Amino acid sequence: VALNRQEKICLLGKGNSTKSKKACLKLKNHLAQTYNVEICLSQYPEHHIQLAKEQAIDCDHLIAVGGDGTINEIVNGLMTISQ
């Protein structure tokens, strides 16, 4: 997928995971050279559901940085958005 330089990318990571935080920072450093990148870290269980709904409004792309639980919450959040 070719990305437009004006597009905004949101990295959704697990706030209580050092590994996730480091991965988000590494991705941001790499992508921010070309794109507008924001990091959103969860603060409590199922927080990704809310973050995904909120960030889907402002971001062109969401990138899950975590395991299957993180992805599950993000997908659940996106599925609640009415079109």
Give ∠ CA 8-60-66 in degrees, rounded to 5.
85
pTM of the complete model beyond 0.85: yes
Tokens matching residue 20: 């996730």
Can you give the pLDDT of all 83 residues of the chain as single tens digits? 666 667 899 999 999 999 999 999 999 999 998 889 999 999 999 999 999 999 999 899 999 999 999 999 999 999 999 86
Please give the Cα distance from 11 to 42 (Å, whole number): 11
